[in-house]
Amino acid sequence: MGQVVQAEDWVYKYADILFNYTLARVQDRGVAEDLVQDTFLSAWRAKDSYNADASEKTWLFAICKNKIIDHFRKKSSSKEQYAAFDSANNFFDENEHWTKQDQPNDWGISSVSIVENKEFYKILDYCKKKLQEMQHNVFVMKYIEDLDAEEICKVLNISSSNYWVIIHRAKLQLRKCIEQNWLNS
């Protein structure tokens, strides 16, 4: 009986924070739910080998982080990676100048006031989730997980030049999406 109570305690204590952590790193809610469930399952199976060197919370987050990276790895091997080269948007014309519709416009507000604006974060989150999947995953690994380029290439099994193109496209897309939503809000 003791075990049953502990399972509930665990889930009610950590499920929401793990869910938010995962939601910030994957594009799909259903995927986030599955990853949280997997995290609990792995932790539960390993709970006898868990020693109290790290806090329970730290331990769960470490497992969760591994699940997320693993999810990216699987996605990268199961998909044609080159879909990362979204063809719909070129940003530059044949002379490699910015096209009129893609060029960066003045956001008309200082950086300081932007980062104090809640709306900015909503738009940022929305635009991040709208990135093409490979771009999104590379972007998250780099800027949220803070992995370096070599590690990311290794996990996703992509070349260095592929990595640079993907991360750069992600930034171009993200910047444009934020501008469109920011200036129209």
Partner 1 sequence: MRLLNISCKKATYLVSKKEQKRINLFDRIKLRIHLSICVLCRRFEKQSNLIIKNVTLTSADEKLSDEAKDRIIESLRNVP
CB of 144 to partner 1, least distance (A): 6
Cα gap 69→156, rounded to integer Å: 9
Contact between 20 and partner 1 by CB under 8 A: the answer reads yes
36 vs 71 by CB, closer to partner 1: 36
The full DSSP string for 64-108 is HHHHHHHHHHHHHHHS-GGGGS-SS---B-TTSPBPTTTSPPP-S
Cα gap 102→72, rounded to integer Å: 29
CB of 168 to partner 1, least distance (A): 4
Contact between 159 and partner 1 by CB under 8 A: the answer reads no
Who contacts 80 (Cβ-Cβ below 8 Å, separation ≥6)? none
What is the chain's length? 185
Contact between 49 and partner 1 by CB under 8 A: the answer reads no
Q: Which residues bind partner 1 (CB under 8 A)?
A: 4, 7-8, 10-12, 15-16, 19-20, 23-24, 33, 36-37, 40-41, 44-45, 91-92, 95-98, 103-107, 111, 114-115, 120-122, 124-125, 128, 142-144, 149, 164, 167-168, 171-172, 174-175, 178-179
